[in-house]
Amino acid sequence: MQETRTLLVTGGAGFIGSNFILYWLKKYPESKIINLDALTYAGNLANLRSIQNYPNYTFVEGSITNKELVDNIMDDVDAVVHFAAESHVDRSILDPGIFLQTNVIGTHILLESALTNNVQHFHHISTDEVFGSLPLNTPEAQFSETTPYDPRSPYSASKASSDHLVRAYGETYGLSYTITNCSNNYGEYQFPEKLIPLAITNIMDGLKVPVYGDGMQVRDWLYVQDHCTAIDLVLHADKSSNTYVVGGLTEDVPNIEIVKMILKIMGKGEDMIEFVTDRPGHDKRYSVNWSKIKTELGWKPSVSFEEGLEKTIHWYQENRHWWEPLKAANQEFFKKNYSK
Ligand code: NAD
Ligand code: DAU
Protein backbone atom coordinates (compact mmCIF):
# COMPACT_ATOMS: atom_id res chain seq x y z
CA MET A 1 0.00 0.00 0.00
CA GLN A 2 1.32 3.47 -0.92
CA GLU A 3 1.38 5.64 2.21
CA THR A 4 2.39 9.26 1.77
CA ARG A 5 0.78 10.96 4.75
CA THR A 6 2.77 13.10 7.15
CA LEU A 7 2.23 11.78 10.69
CA LEU A 8 2.86 13.73 13.85
CA VAL A 9 3.91 11.03 16.31
CA THR A 10 3.97 12.26 19.90
CA GLY A 11 6.11 10.42 22.45
CA GLY A 12 8.00 8.66 19.66
CA ALA A 13 11.18 8.31 21.75
CA GLY A 14 9.40 6.12 24.30
CA PHE A 15 8.89 2.37 24.31
CA ILE A 16 5.85 1.85 22.06
CA GLY A 17 6.29 5.09 20.09
CA SER A 18 9.83 4.22 18.99
CA ASN A 19 8.84 0.67 18.06
CA PHE A 20 5.98 2.18 16.04
CA ILE A 21 8.20 4.69 14.17
CA LEU A 22 10.73 1.97 13.24
CA TYR A 23 7.88 -0.30 12.10
CA TRP A 24 6.10 2.43 10.11
CA LEU A 25 9.08 3.85 8.24
CA LYS A 26 10.25 0.36 7.29
CA LYS A 27 6.82 -0.52 5.91
CA TYR A 28 5.92 2.89 4.44
CA PRO A 29 9.19 4.56 3.37
CA GLU A 30 7.29 7.26 1.42
CA SER A 31 5.50 8.45 4.54
CA LYS A 32 6.87 11.32 6.62
CA ILE A 33 7.11 11.32 10.40
CA ILE A 34 7.55 14.25 12.76
CA ASN A 35 8.38 12.93 16.23
CA LEU A 36 7.53 15.38 19.04
CA ASP A 37 8.98 14.17 22.33
CA ALA A 38 9.95 15.98 25.53
CA LEU A 39 12.67 13.42 26.32
CA THR A 40 11.55 12.82 29.89
CA TYR A 41 13.27 10.02 31.85
CA ALA A 42 11.33 7.60 29.57
CA GLY A 43 12.33 9.13 26.23
CA ASN A 44 15.48 7.83 24.58
CA LEU A 45 16.77 8.82 21.15
CA ALA A 46 19.08 5.79 21.14
CA ASN A 47 15.98 3.75 20.20
CA LEU A 48 15.79 5.65 16.89
CA ARG A 49 19.48 5.83 15.98
CA SER A 50 18.98 3.63 12.90
CA ILE A 51 16.66 6.19 11.27
CA GLN A 52 17.91 9.47 12.74
CA ASN A 53 19.30 10.68 9.38
CA TYR A 54 16.44 9.36 7.32
CA PRO A 55 15.15 12.26 5.12
CA ASN A 56 11.47 11.57 5.88
CA TYR A 57 12.03 11.63 9.65
CA THR A 58 12.20 14.78 11.77
CA PHE A 59 12.72 14.92 15.53
CA VAL A 60 11.46 17.88 17.53
CA GLU A 61 12.36 18.05 21.20
CA GLY A 62 9.53 19.65 23.15
CA SER A 63 6.40 19.14 25.15
CA ILE A 64 2.86 18.52 23.95
CA THR A 65 1.89 21.05 26.64
CA ASN A 66 3.70 23.82 24.69
CA LYS A 67 0.82 25.24 22.64
CA GLU A 68 2.93 27.53 20.47
CA LEU A 69 5.32 24.73 19.52
CA VAL A 70 2.47 22.29 18.84
CA ASP A 71 0.69 24.86 16.63
CA ASN A 72 3.87 25.47 14.64
CA ILE A 73 4.37 21.76 13.96
CA MET A 74 0.73 20.92 13.23
CA ASP A 75 0.70 23.09 10.11
CA ASP A 76 1.96 20.36 7.75
CA VAL A 77 0.48 17.33 9.47
CA ASP A 78 -2.10 14.93 7.94
CA ALA A 79 -2.66 12.72 10.98
CA VAL A 80 -1.64 12.69 14.64
CA VAL A 81 -0.66 9.43 16.34
CA HIS A 82 -0.63 10.34 20.02
CA PHE A 83 1.54 8.17 22.30
CA ALA A 84 3.08 10.84 24.57
CA ALA A 85 2.17 10.28 28.19
CA GLU A 86 3.43 9.66 31.65
CA SER A 87 2.90 5.90 31.63
CA HIS A 88 3.97 4.27 34.92
CA VAL A 89 1.28 3.57 37.54
CA ASP A 90 3.75 3.53 40.46
CA ARG A 91 5.08 6.99 39.51
CA SER A 92 1.49 8.28 39.31
CA ILE A 93 0.96 7.13 42.91
CA LEU A 94 4.08 8.97 44.09
CA ASP A 95 3.52 12.15 42.03
CA PRO A 96 0.16 12.47 40.21
CA GLY A 97 0.43 16.13 39.12
CA ILE A 98 2.63 15.58 36.05
CA PHE A 99 0.21 12.88 34.85
CA LEU A 100 -2.58 15.45 34.70
CA GLN A 101 -0.35 18.00 32.96
CA THR A 102 0.90 15.65 30.25
CA ASN A 103 -1.94 13.18 29.79
CA VAL A 104 -4.89 15.58 30.16
CA ILE A 105 -3.68 19.10 29.38
CA GLY A 106 -1.21 17.87 26.75
CA THR A 107 -3.90 15.88 24.96
CA HIS A 108 -6.22 18.89 25.05
CA ILE A 109 -3.57 21.13 23.46
CA LEU A 110 -2.99 18.58 20.69
CA LEU A 111 -6.74 18.23 20.02
CA GLU A 112 -7.27 21.98 19.84
CA SER A 113 -4.32 22.39 17.50
CA ALA A 114 -5.41 19.47 15.29
CA LEU A 115 -8.84 21.04 14.97
CA THR A 116 -7.70 24.56 14.15
CA ASN A 117 -5.15 23.24 11.64
CA ASN A 118 -7.70 21.00 9.87
CA VAL A 119 -5.70 17.85 10.53
CA GLN A 120 -7.45 14.92 8.79
CA HIS A 121 -7.33 12.42 11.62
CA PHE A 122 -6.34 12.01 15.29
CA HIS A 123 -5.45 8.57 16.61
CA HIS A 124 -5.22 8.32 20.40
CA ILE A 125 -3.25 5.51 22.06
CA SER A 126 -4.93 4.54 25.30
CA THR A 127 -4.99 1.72 27.78
CA ASP A 128 -7.25 -1.04 29.06
CA GLU A 129 -6.62 0.35 32.58
CA VAL A 130 -9.37 2.94 32.01
CA PHE A 131 -11.90 0.12 32.55
CA GLY A 132 -10.72 -0.59 36.10
CA SER A 133 -10.24 -3.99 37.67
CA LEU A 134 -11.86 -7.36 36.89
CA PRO A 135 -12.33 -10.01 39.60
CA LEU A 136 -9.85 -12.89 39.69
CA ASN A 137 -10.94 -16.32 38.44
CA THR A 138 -13.77 -15.04 36.22
CA PRO A 139 -12.62 -15.99 32.73
CA GLU A 140 -15.95 -14.88 31.26
CA ALA A 141 -15.40 -11.28 32.48
CA GLN A 142 -13.43 -9.27 29.91
CA PHE A 143 -13.01 -5.65 28.83
CA SER A 144 -14.57 -4.66 25.51
CA GLU A 145 -15.37 -1.45 23.64
CA THR A 146 -18.64 -1.11 25.60
CA THR A 147 -17.21 -1.61 29.12
CA PRO A 148 -17.96 1.43 31.33
CA TYR A 149 -14.96 3.48 32.44
CA ASP A 150 -13.85 2.90 36.06
CA PRO A 151 -10.22 4.09 36.44
CA ARG A 152 -8.65 3.46 39.85
CA SER A 153 -5.16 5.01 39.76
CA PRO A 154 -4.06 8.58 39.02
CA TYR A 155 -2.49 7.22 35.78
CA SER A 156 -5.63 5.48 34.55
CA ALA A 157 -7.82 8.41 35.63
CA SER A 158 -5.66 10.76 33.55
CA LYS A 159 -5.82 8.40 30.54
CA ALA A 160 -9.60 8.03 30.94
CA SER A 161 -9.88 11.80 30.98
CA SER A 162 -7.85 12.07 27.78
CA ASP A 163 -10.07 9.46 26.06
CA HIS A 164 -13.17 11.48 27.02
CA LEU A 165 -11.60 14.65 25.62
CA VAL A 166 -10.80 12.93 22.31
CA ARG A 167 -14.40 11.72 21.97
CA ALA A 168 -15.71 15.16 22.99
CA TYR A 169 -13.70 16.79 20.18
CA GLY A 170 -15.15 14.24 17.74
CA GLU A 171 -18.76 14.67 18.88
CA THR A 172 -18.71 18.42 19.45
CA TYR A 173 -16.39 19.73 16.76
CA GLY A 174 -16.41 16.91 14.20
CA LEU A 175 -12.71 15.98 14.59
CA SER A 176 -12.07 12.62 12.92
CA TYR A 177 -10.60 10.32 15.56
CA THR A 178 -9.94 6.73 16.55
CA ILE A 179 -8.88 5.32 19.93
CA THR A 180 -7.15 2.05 20.76
CA ASN A 181 -7.27 0.79 24.36
CA CYS A 182 -4.44 -1.70 24.58
CA SER A 183 -3.33 -4.12 27.29
CA ASN A 184 0.20 -4.48 28.77
CA ASN A 185 2.88 -4.31 26.10
CA TYR A 186 6.33 -5.88 26.45
CA GLY A 187 9.35 -6.13 24.15
CA GLU A 188 12.47 -4.26 23.04
CA TYR A 189 13.16 -0.72 24.39
CA GLN A 190 10.78 -0.91 27.37
CA PHE A 191 12.04 1.21 30.24
CA PRO A 192 13.31 -1.13 33.01
CA GLU A 193 10.76 0.07 35.57
CA LYS A 194 7.90 -2.10 34.22
CA LEU A 195 7.52 -5.68 35.47
CA ILE A 196 9.05 -7.70 32.59
CA PRO A 197 12.17 -5.59 31.85
CA LEU A 198 12.65 -4.94 35.58
CA ALA A 199 12.63 -8.67 36.26
CA ILE A 200 15.02 -9.49 33.40
CA THR A 201 17.53 -6.75 34.25
CA ASN A 202 17.42 -7.43 38.00
CA ILE A 203 18.16 -11.11 37.34
CA MET A 204 21.05 -10.12 35.06
CA ASP A 205 22.41 -7.98 37.92
CA GLY A 206 21.96 -10.75 40.51
CA LEU A 207 19.17 -8.80 42.25
CA LYS A 208 15.88 -10.26 43.45
CA VAL A 209 12.65 -9.64 41.53
CA PRO A 210 10.12 -7.61 43.58
CA VAL A 211 6.62 -9.10 43.34
CA TYR A 212 3.80 -6.95 44.71
CA GLY A 213 1.46 -8.56 47.28
CA ASP A 214 0.81 -12.23 46.61
CA GLY A 215 1.67 -11.99 42.89
CA MET A 216 -1.74 -13.35 41.86
CA GLN A 217 -2.71 -10.25 39.84
CA VAL A 218 -3.29 -10.83 36.14
CA ARG A 219 -2.34 -8.71 33.12
CA ASP A 220 -3.06 -9.33 29.42
CA TRP A 221 0.38 -9.26 27.81
CA LEU A 222 0.92 -8.20 24.18
CA TYR A 223 4.19 -8.17 22.23
CA VAL A 224 4.84 -4.56 21.18
CA GLN A 225 5.18 -5.38 17.45
CA ASP A 226 1.66 -6.77 17.50
CA HIS A 227 0.42 -3.50 19.00
CA CYS A 228 2.09 -1.67 16.08
CA THR A 229 0.26 -3.81 13.51
CA ALA A 230 -3.04 -3.09 15.28
CA ILE A 231 -2.42 0.69 15.12
CA ASP A 232 -1.43 0.36 11.44
CA LEU A 233 -4.74 -1.39 10.60
CA VAL A 234 -6.76 1.20 12.53
CA LEU A 235 -4.93 4.06 10.75
CA HIS A 236 -5.86 2.49 7.41
CA ALA A 237 -9.44 1.61 8.31
CA ASP A 238 -12.11 3.82 6.86
CA LYS A 239 -13.82 4.27 10.21
CA SER A 240 -13.84 7.51 12.14
CA SER A 241 -15.22 7.97 15.69
CA ASN A 242 -14.30 4.41 16.43
CA THR A 243 -12.67 2.61 19.34
CA TYR A 244 -10.89 -0.76 19.39
CA VAL A 245 -9.65 -2.67 22.40
CA VAL A 246 -6.43 -4.62 21.78
CA GLY A 247 -5.09 -7.50 23.87
CA GLY A 248 -2.81 -10.47 23.66
CA LEU A 249 -3.35 -13.50 25.88
CA THR A 250 -6.18 -16.03 25.67
CA GLU A 251 -5.82 -17.27 29.26
CA ASP A 252 -4.91 -15.73 32.61
CA VAL A 253 -1.25 -15.83 33.67
CA PRO A 254 -0.65 -14.31 37.15
CA ASN A 255 2.37 -12.06 37.71
CA ILE A 256 4.11 -14.69 39.83
CA GLU A 257 3.92 -17.17 36.93
CA ILE A 258 5.38 -14.55 34.55
CA VAL A 259 8.32 -14.07 36.91
CA LYS A 260 8.80 -17.85 37.23
CA MET A 261 8.78 -18.19 33.41
CA ILE A 262 11.46 -15.50 33.12
CA LEU A 263 13.57 -17.15 35.82
CA LYS A 264 13.28 -20.52 34.08
CA ILE A 265 14.28 -19.16 30.67
CA MET A 266 17.24 -17.38 32.31
CA GLY A 267 18.27 -20.53 34.18
CA LYS A 268 17.72 -19.11 37.69
CA GLY A 269 15.85 -20.44 40.72
CA GLU A 270 12.74 -19.18 42.48
CA ASP A 271 14.86 -18.01 45.42
CA MET A 272 15.30 -14.85 43.28
CA ILE A 273 11.67 -13.86 44.01
CA GLU A 274 11.01 -11.32 46.76
CA PHE A 275 7.44 -10.57 47.81
CA VAL A 276 7.17 -6.85 48.64
CA THR A 277 4.47 -4.42 49.86
CA ASP A 278 1.54 -4.34 47.48
CA ARG A 279 0.82 -1.39 45.16
CA PRO A 280 -1.94 0.81 46.71
CA GLY A 281 -5.24 0.29 44.85
CA HIS A 282 -3.63 -2.50 42.83
CA ASP A 283 -5.98 -3.57 40.00
CA LYS A 284 -6.50 -7.34 40.28
CA ARG A 285 -7.08 -8.48 36.74
CA TYR A 286 -7.12 -7.19 33.15
CA SER A 287 -8.38 -9.27 30.26
CA VAL A 288 -9.33 -7.95 26.84
CA ASN A 289 -11.88 -9.30 24.38
CA TRP A 290 -10.39 -8.16 21.07
CA SER A 291 -12.98 -9.76 18.79
CA LYS A 292 -14.06 -6.41 17.26
CA ILE A 293 -10.64 -5.57 15.78
CA LYS A 294 -10.29 -9.21 14.70
CA THR A 295 -13.66 -9.29 12.92
CA GLU A 296 -13.59 -5.78 11.43
CA LEU A 297 -9.91 -5.39 10.55
CA GLY A 298 -8.54 -8.94 10.56
CA TRP A 299 -6.04 -8.27 13.39
CA LYS A 300 -4.71 -10.89 15.75
CA PRO A 301 -1.47 -11.25 17.71
CA SER A 302 1.25 -12.99 15.67
CA VAL A 303 3.72 -13.72 18.49
CA SER A 304 2.96 -16.22 21.27
CA PHE A 305 3.77 -15.17 24.84
CA GLU A 306 6.54 -17.78 25.17
CA GLU A 307 8.16 -16.65 21.90
CA GLY A 308 7.80 -12.94 22.75
CA LEU A 309 9.27 -13.45 26.21
CA GLU A 310 12.29 -15.32 24.83
CA LYS A 311 12.91 -12.63 22.19
CA THR A 312 12.62 -9.92 24.84
CA ILE A 313 14.97 -11.63 27.30
CA HIS A 314 17.49 -12.16 24.50
CA TRP A 315 17.27 -8.46 23.53
CA TYR A 316 17.95 -7.26 27.10
CA GLN A 317 20.84 -9.72 27.37
CA GLU A 318 22.36 -8.33 24.17
CA ASN A 319 21.71 -4.68 25.02
CA ARG A 320 23.01 -4.07 28.54
CA HIS A 321 24.53 -0.80 27.25
CA TRP A 322 20.96 0.42 26.54
CA TRP A 323 19.36 -0.29 29.93
CA GLU A 324 22.21 -0.08 32.44
CA PRO A 325 22.53 3.75 32.38
CA LEU A 326 18.75 4.13 32.62
CA LYS A 327 18.60 2.06 35.78
CA ALA A 328 21.60 3.86 37.26
CA ALA A 329 20.04 7.28 36.60
CA ASN A 330 16.72 6.30 38.22
CA GLN A 331 17.95 4.90 41.55
CA GLU A 332 16.09 7.57 43.49
CA PHE A 333 12.75 6.41 42.05
CA PHE A 334 13.54 2.73 42.67
CA LYS A 335 14.51 3.45 46.28
CA LYS A 336 11.37 5.46 46.94
CA ASN A 337 9.04 2.98 45.21
CA TYR A 338 10.38 -0.18 46.86
CA SER A 339 10.89 1.20 50.37
CA LYS A 340 7.17 1.66 51.02
P1 NAD B 1 6.87 5.45 27.76
O2 NAD B 1 6.78 5.99 29.15
O3 NAD B 1 7.87 4.42 27.43
O4 NAD B 1 7.12 6.68 26.75
C5 NAD B 1 6.44 7.89 26.84
C6 NAD B 1 7.11 8.88 25.90
O7 NAD B 1 6.38 10.12 25.97
C8 NAD B 1 8.57 9.20 26.27
O9 NAD B 1 9.36 9.22 25.11
C10 NAD B 1 8.48 10.59 26.88
O11 NAD B 1 9.66 11.35 26.72
C12 NAD B 1 7.31 11.18 26.10
N13 NAD B 1 6.66 12.28 26.82
C14 NAD B 1 6.28 12.29 28.13
N15 NAD B 1 5.74 13.52 28.41
C16 NAD B 1 5.77 14.24 27.26
C17 NAD B 1 5.35 15.55 26.92
N18 NAD B 1 4.81 16.38 27.81
N19 NAD B 1 5.51 15.96 25.64
C20 NAD B 1 6.08 15.15 24.72
N21 NAD B 1 6.51 13.90 24.99
C22 NAD B 1 6.36 13.46 26.24
O23 NAD B 1 5.40 4.99 27.41
P24 NAD B 1 4.91 3.75 26.52
O25 NAD B 1 4.90 2.54 27.36
O26 NAD B 1 5.65 3.76 25.23
O27 NAD B 1 3.39 4.18 26.29
C28 NAD B 1 3.03 4.96 25.15
C29 NAD B 1 1.54 5.21 25.17
O30 NAD B 1 0.85 3.96 25.16
C31 NAD B 1 1.05 5.94 26.42
O32 NAD B 1 0.03 6.83 26.04
C33 NAD B 1 0.49 4.82 27.31
O34 NAD B 1 -0.53 5.32 28.13
C35 NAD B 1 -0.04 3.89 26.25
N36 NAD B 1 -0.11 2.45 26.63
C37 NAD B 1 1.01 1.83 27.12
C38 NAD B 1 0.95 0.46 27.40
C39 NAD B 1 2.15 -0.30 27.93
O40 NAD B 1 2.01 -1.46 28.30
N41 NAD B 1 3.35 0.28 27.94
C42 NAD B 1 -0.24 -0.25 27.19
C43 NAD B 1 -1.36 0.44 26.71
C44 NAD B 1 -1.27 1.80 26.42
O1 DAU C 1 -2.63 -2.39 30.93
C2 DAU C 1 -1.90 -1.45 30.21
C3 DAU C 1 -0.93 -0.73 31.12
O4 DAU C 1 0.11 -1.64 31.41
C5 DAU C 1 -0.36 0.55 30.52
O6 DAU C 1 -1.40 1.48 30.33
C7 DAU C 1 0.72 1.17 31.43
O8 DAU C 1 1.29 2.27 30.79
C9 DAU C 1 1.77 0.11 31.68
O10 DAU C 1 2.73 0.61 32.58
C11 DAU C 1 1.15 -1.18 32.25
O12 DAU C 1 0.64 -0.95 33.60
P13 DAU C 1 0.82 -2.03 34.78
O14 DAU C 1 0.77 -1.31 36.05
O15 DAU C 1 -0.08 -3.19 34.56
O16 DAU C 1 2.34 -2.51 34.42
P17 DAU C 1 3.60 -2.83 35.37
O18 DAU C 1 4.62 -3.45 34.49
O19 DAU C 1 3.97 -1.66 36.20
O20 DAU C 1 3.02 -3.95 36.34
C21 DAU C 1 2.53 -5.17 35.83
C22 DAU C 1 2.04 -6.01 37.00
O23 DAU C 1 3.17 -6.40 37.78
C24 DAU C 1 1.13 -5.24 37.95
O25 DAU C 1 0.16 -6.14 38.46
C26 DAU C 1 2.06 -4.79 39.08
C27 DAU C 1 3.09 -5.91 39.11
N28 DAU C 1 4.45 -5.50 39.52
C29 DAU C 1 5.03 -4.45 38.88
C30 DAU C 1 6.30 -4.04 39.23
C31 DAU C 1 6.95 -2.86 38.54
C32 DAU C 1 5.13 -6.21 40.48
O33 DAU C 1 4.60 -7.20 41.05
N34 DAU C 1 6.40 -5.83 40.82
C35 DAU C 1 7.00 -4.76 40.24
O36 DAU C 1 8.16 -4.43 40.62
What spacing in Å lies between the alpha carbon of 195 and ligand 2's midpoint?
Answer: 6
Is the beta carbon of 92 within 6 A of some atom in ligand 2?
A: no
SS3 87: coil
Residue with the bigger pLDDT between 8 and 249: it is: 8
Is 129 designated active site?
yes
Point out the ligand nearest to the CA of residue 153: 2
Q: Quick check: CB of 166 below 6 Å from ligand 1?
A: no
Q: pLDDT digit string (tens) for 295-334?
A: 999 999 999 999 999 999 999 999 999 999 999 999 999 9
More confident residue, 7 or 239: 7
Domain housing 233: 6-189+220-251+286-302
Ligand 2 near 195 CB (within 6 A) = yes
Q: Is residue 267 part of a domain?
A: no
Residue 211 lies in a domain: no
pLDDT tens by residue, 77-86:
999 999 999 9
Instruction: Classify residue 133: in a domain, yes or no.
Output: yes
Q: Is 220 known to be catalytic? A: no
Q: What is the CATH number of the domain that holds 119?
A: 3.40.50.720
Residue 143 maps to a domain: yes
- pLDDT of 225 reads 98
Question: For the stretch 224-258, what's the b/e string if a residue is b when 16 or more beta carbons lie within 10 angstroms of its beta carbon?
Answer: bbbbbbbbbbbbeeeeeebbbbbbbbeebebbbeb
Q: Count structural domains, the chain.
A: 1
Question: Does ligand 2 come within 6 angstroms of the Cβ of 5?
Answer: no
CB atoms within 10 A of CB 340: 12
- Tell me which of 90, 129, 193, 283 is the catalytic residue: 129
The answer to whether the beta carbons of residues 83 and 10 sit under 8 Å apart is yes
Q: What is the pTM of this model?
A: 0.98
> What confidence score (pLDDT) does residue 250 get?
84
Q: Residue 340 pLDDT more than 80?
A: no
Beta-carbon contacts of 85 under 8 Å, excluding residues fewer than 6 positions away, are: 11, 102, 103, 106, 125, 158, 159, 162
For residue 335, tell me if it sits in a domain.
Answer: no
Q: How much distance in Å is there from the Cα of 18 to the middle of ligand 1?
A: 10
Flag whether 93 is in a domain: yes
Task: Indicate whether 259 belongs to any domain.
Answer: no
